[in-house]
Amino acid sequence: MCGARHTNATIHTCTSTIGHHFGCIALSSKYPAPALNPVSASSTLTVGLNPAQQEAVLHLGGPCLVLAGAGSGKTRVITHKIARLIEVGLAPERIAAITFTNKAAAEMRERARQLVGKGAQKVLICTFHALGVRLLREDGAVLGLKPKFSILDSDDITGILKDCAGGTADIATARQWQWTISAWKNAGLTAADALAQAQTDDEHTIALLMQQYQERLSAYQAVDFDDLIGLPLKLLQQHAEVRTRWQQKMGHVLVDEYQDTNATQYELLKLLVGERARFTAVGDDDQSIYGWRGATLDNLRKLPIDFPALQVIKLEQNYRSTSAILRAANNVIGPNPKLFPKKLWSDLGEGEPVRVLACDNEEHEAERMVARIVSIRAGSGPLASPHRELRDFCLLYRANHQARLFEVALRKAQIPYKVSGGTSFFDRAEIKDLCAWLRLLVNNDDDPAFMRAITTPKRGVGHQTLAALGTFASQYKISLFEALFAHSLSTALPARAVGSLHEFGRTLNELEHRARHTTGADNARTFLMEWLKDIGYEQHLYDGEDNEKAAAARWNNVVEFCDWMAQRCGGQIADAAGVHTETERKTVLEVAQTIALLSTISEREQDQNVVTLSTLHAAKGLEWPHVMLVGVNEGLLPFKLDETADVPADQLAQRLEEERRLMYVGITRARNSLVVSWLKRRKKGREFITGKPSRFIAEMALDQSTAREDPREKLRALRAEFAQRAQVATNAAKPT
């Protein structure tokens, strides 16, 4: 269930994120449904778990909601529950664990492997979108999709929408259309639904564009990110045999970050689990911060109504933060209405007090934060922090633009850093364009790469031609490239269109031949730059950007990529200790075959020993020993909350509640120390205005003497409570 966390700019396949083979296995006695007493069952898997975690792991017989507070060990609960399900006889291939990001899925997969061994390889652990891909690859034919359908992302979508509007719209307008259409899809609306309930001229216009856009996708045999949830939902709703088969496959479904699911994802979950309702939803209503992209707390409200047998288990013991940090977090989130009240606590000790710094302006704030990093790293004596690596520090802010001055101050102090949440080099649209061409040289049958290459740059092949080509290829069950040279293509397309397609095919064949016979860095660089000149790629970038500087920056990225490719073709002379050696020569085509591995490069960058700069949204799920939460001013956090504007009171209240949850998420990223800073004077546009500390700073109640819970007493009380529950369950199970 991944909200649009999104991704930029290419047509691509999703096979790398789908996980291991998930075979179709019918219900039988071979896979008995777990029917154990959730309290009295014993297992070595529960050793080291607290009472609430044990209850969550052992509850197997029906729907379960685990309210997992920040740092309460939710991933541990999920992986131990997977192990427990396997232990009681459920086949691993009938267990699905759904996360929100590929990174979270990879972490969960590794932890499950450590706990279960090879059996974990058969468990489906993936994002909700990857699950959607699997459903559509296996059963999408009943919706008219072929298995090799293309998946479009952001830049492709805006390009199609601009074409649908006649090519006159700017990128910003097309992006706005895209977001509106995405919101409609996440709410479960079709183009017809959107048109029927359009209330303004703009909404009416966008609904008509959505209709054309969907027709294009169908013709292209393509889907967008939202379709990876919406189409599987349609598949299960409208085709009973497919629904039954998938419900039989799903012995138990575990959903991580449940509070971030949207309406469509919830409906899909319900259809996947069916009436047996063997699922575990793990989430925290206090960390729901993605309302702007369709996530809704209604999904939490609906669970007890739609599943009356729902078991609700709260994880309140925090294993991350000190008591001082948790007290500030509990105080901040306190004013929000509670679906399921809970209060985090820790036995890690009181720790350092949370500090609030009032800074003169943005530059002063940046200097103070850098000084704090330097001070902690240089600290000595018994009170010195044991966490003094650069990777132990994080600067958190509300909006991306706040990072710039901190970057300046860190560079001045010669402190290396990374900006989290920024676009990876290999995720940039222009790099993905080139990768699509290279992928197509390696594998002519790569339809998604074909679609991107033939339209980037544009070469006189319009959407109607591509639609007809897609229909022709689908009819004869061949790839788009194969279809180019089919003898009967002339019966499906006009001669002029066939001529344009043949020209593209000849271009590809020539490029492939040259790439196969071009070796060494110098030759490769020449080949790549000549190729880009031949297809007019530099001009394409300048034509597609409203800003010349932005276009120049993108072209520089292209040149850097070509250098990267050329270097890997080898042939350079290296001088090692006075010995001259020539690096291994490779062809451009051989290097192109490694393009699929590029994503691992950006992942390795995450392990660098550097200070992290991150938005609050991008930091969710992460933690650091030392956190500096900066720019905590009214107008920034909470963000532009104009209480005098003509906005309904309930909407204003909801916005404030989500902003408060965002502050809560920021506070709970900290393990050992937390500093919160605000600006006495801050820049707004080109002017300076008097800064006002965020209301959330007062809500932390740092100057109040609040009651401090004894964690030992808390643990004794919890053990007594769960022991009593166990006894009640045992007595109820005895024959009368």
Half-sphere exposure of 285 (CA within 13 A, CB side): 21
Q: What is d(CA 96, CA 90) in angstroms, rounded to the nearest whole number?
A: 12
Asked whether 156 and 11 are in contact (CB, 8 A), the reply is yes
| Rounded CA separation 218/203 (Å) | 22
State how far the alpha carbon of 563 is from the alpha carbons of 524, 537, 582, in Å: 9, 16, 18
Cβ atoms within 10 A of the Cβ of 528, count?
Answer: 23
Cα–Cα distance, 181 to 4 (Å, whole number): 13
Residue from 596, 573, 595 nearest 585 by CA: 573
Distance CA 73, CA 546 (A): 47
CA gap 484, 500 in Å, rounded? 10
Instruction: Tell me whether residue 415 is exposed, middle or buried, using C-beta atoms within 10 angstroms of its C-beta: 0 to 12, 13 to 18, 19 or more.
Output: middle
Active site residue: 94, 669, 682, 695, which one? 669
Select which of 153, 257, 392, 658 is catalytic. Answer: 257
Cis peptide before 32 (omega within 30 of 0): no
Distance CA 615, CA 292 (A): 15
Active site (annotated) includes residue 287: yes
The helix (run of H) or strand (run of E) holding residue 719 is: helix 711-733
Amino acid at 43: S
Give the helix/strand (H/E) hosting 399: none
Report the alpha-carbon distance of residue 96 to residue 98 in Å, rounded.
Answer: 6
Indicate if 360 belongs to the active site: no
Q: Which of 2, 17, 8 is nearest to 101 (CA)?
A: 2
* Cα 394–chain centre separation: 20
Q: List the alpha helices (DSSP H) in 167-319.
A: 171-186, 191-196, 201-220, 227-238, 240-249, 263-273, 298-306
Q: How far is CA 232 from the centre of its chain?
A: 19
287 within 8 A of 39, measured Cβ to Cβ: no
Three-state DSSP class for 304? helix
Alpha carbons 227 and 132: distance in angstroms, whole number? 8
Pick the catalytic residue: 55, 139, 163, 256? Answer: 256
In whole angstroms, give the CA distance from residue 649 to residue 657.
12
Answer yes or no: 669 catalytic. Answer: yes
The answer to whether residue 736 is catalytic is no
| Active-site entry in 54, 259, 287, 668 | 287
Give kind and range of the element (H or E) at residue 85. helix 74-87
Query: Which one of the listed residues 74, 111, 249, 671 is annotated catalytic?
Result: 74
Both tokens of 359, joined, read 């800074």
**CA distance linking residue 448 with residue 12, whole number of Å:** 5
Sign of CA dihedral 238, 244, 248, 254: positive
Residue of 421, 398, 483, 332 lying closest to 622 (CA atoms)? 421
Tell me the pairing of strands 573-576 and 579-582: antiparallel
Q: Nearest-5° angle of CA 421, CA 328, CA 404?
A: 30
Helices marked H in 535-683 — which ranges?
Answer: 537-544, 548-567, 588-592, 599-605, 616-619, 649-667
- Which amino acid makes up residue 447? D
* Catalytic residue numbers, as ranges: 74-75, 256-257, 287, 669
